[in-house]
Amino acid sequence: MPEIKTGRAHLIAGGFPPGSSAGHDHDYARLRLLQLLAEQDVPASVANDFADVANWLPVSRLLITYVAGPYPDAAQCQAIERWLEAGGRWLGLHGTSGGRAERVDGMRQRRTVRTEHHALLGSCFLTHPPICGIRVEVSAADHPLTRGLGRSFYVEDEPYFIELQDPGSTQILLTADYGPGATSPAFGTLYASDTSLQSDGRTRVLGYTRSIGEGGVAYVALGHCHNPGIRAARADDPGDATPLTFRGSWECDAFITLLRNAIAWGSKA
């Protein structure tokens, strides 16, 4: 692979099947991320999935992914891993920890299938309860990604349950205690147990970094957004009071600071 160029990013934002929103406003997230990249004079290429990722990695320093469904296959994971080892940096947001899901008999929800990309990213999405307020605790306030965030911040977002794939190689940056009411019928049905819980039995990881060769990965579970058209496609739920237009963390100063930090961490390393 040619020497990695500094100051350039490749942004992947999209759903699956191609053209589907998959429950997220990818246009909004894509625009906001491109605006944040432009603030730091970081030129960027864009894509809706990982199909041509190997073409863009050699000319990029930073890979940003905001996806709901698309994930890299085994060959694409190998290309990303080689790029990371050579010094590239990958910022995965929100649904990046998802991917292929399989049906389970008698269940409406699907179960995430662990693939090569989860091992590379370092986490696997399990489930999430409904959108709620989250007090995010900052575990490493001196890290380049968390500078300026303080000890904690509050957002409204989907409370993700993610399973770390290699805790020993992971530096945890953000956590949350969703409280005793944050449960899911997915455990004991889709999954044998809740493997997102940390050793204290209360907290869950929302952000981390891990080194891979000369480069590394950062993942942040926050960032859900949707618009009225996307909500209209959902089954009617009288108990769902979520606004038709939801920006959540994207309207939180701390989350935007986190994204700015991550762009600087990835593009100027």
The pLDDT assigned to 238 comes to 56
With respect to residue 102, please indicate whether it lies within any of the assigned structural domains: yes
With respect to residue 4, please indicate whether it lies within any of the assigned structural domains: no
**Average pLDDT score over residue span 2-14:** 80
Res. 237: pLDDT tops 60: no
74-132 confidence digits (pLDDT tens)? 999 999 999 999 999 999 999 999 999 888 887 778 889 999 999 999 999 999 989 99
Q: What CA–CA distances, in Å, run from 201 to 6, 83, 127, 196? A: 41, 36, 17, 9
Sorted by sequence, the CB contacts under 8 Å of residue 243 that are 6+ apart come out as none
Give the count of domains, the chain.
1
The pLDDT assigned to 229 comes to 86
Sorted by sequence, the CB contacts under 8 Å of residue 61 that are 6+ apart come out as 4, 5, 6, 7, 8, 9, 87, 88, 89, 266, 267, 269
With respect to residue 100, please indicate whether it lies within any of the assigned structural domains: yes
**How buried is residue 253: exposed, middle or buried, by Cβ count under 10 Å (0-12/13-18/19+)?**
exposed
With respect to residue 1, please indicate whether it lies within any of the assigned structural domains: no
CB contact at 8 A, 179 and 161: no
Q: Tell me which residue range forms the domain holding 129.
A: 9-267
65 bridge partner residues: 12, 92
With respect to residue 191, please indicate whether it lies within any of the assigned structural domains: yes
With respect to residue 234, please indicate whether it lies within any of the assigned structural domains: yes
Q: Output the furthest CA–CA distance in the chain (Å, rounded).
A: 55
Strand 215-220, strand 203-212: pairing: antiparallel
168-195 confidence digits (pLDDT tens)? 999 999 999 998 877 788 888 889 999 9
Q: What is the CATH number of the domain that holds 61?
A: 3.40.50.880
Res. 236: pLDDT tops 60: no
Q: Which of 64-73, 177-186, 245-254 has the lowest mean pLDDT?
A: 177-186
Query: Whole-angstrom Cα distance, residue 17 to residue 91?
Result: 23
CB contact at 8 A, 158 and 249: no
